[in-house]
Amino acid sequence: MDKKKILLVDDEKDLVSAMVFQLEAAGYDVITAYDGLDGLEKSKKEKVDLIILDLMLPKMDGYKVCGLLKKDNRYSKIPIILFTARAQQSDKDMGKEAGADAYVTKPFDAKALILKIEELIKGKTV
């Protein structure tokens, strides 16, 4: 079976390294981007199964990246998990408006994140 590919977009390099390790250990291929613009470009170029997207990013924030992808029919089916330290309800509401499929706050529970990824990837219709 093909490994599922995840795009991880976050500007905290230490966090990205730790998450890549955990996701690869769970059997995923992981591509990374460290700013919103690069994340958007890689979302369109690479055939990814899921995107984990930080909100506070250089060049373009996560809400904008999510909204642009969800408005484009070619990419709207890719599940997006917004991943952020911003835990206010208003932030979650903005994430929903942008079209995010899930919202995970930092610090995060790796097992819970991987379960959410599996749920979203399995639920994805191609």
The pLDDT of residue 2 = 78
> Taking the mean position of all CA atoms in its chain, how far away is CA 81?
4
For the chain, list the domains and their CATH numbers.
Answer: 5-116 (3.40.50.2300)
Cα separation of 74 and 72, whole Å? 5
Cα separation of 90 and 94, whole Å? 6
The pLDDT of residue 99 = 95
Question: Mean pLDDT, consecutive 10-residue segments, the chain of 126 residues?
Answer: 90 94 96 97 96 95 96 96 86 90 87 93 66
- Helix 13-25 to helix 110-123 angle (10° resolution) is 60
For residue 66, which amino acid is it? C
28: which 2 tokens?
Answer: 């995923």
The pLDDT of residue 126 = 43
- Helix 62-71 to helix 36-45 angle (10° resolution) is 30
The pLDDT of residue 18 = 93
The pLDDT of residue 17 = 95
> Taking the mean position of all CA atoms in its chain, how far away is CA 62?
9
Residue positions counted in the chain? 126
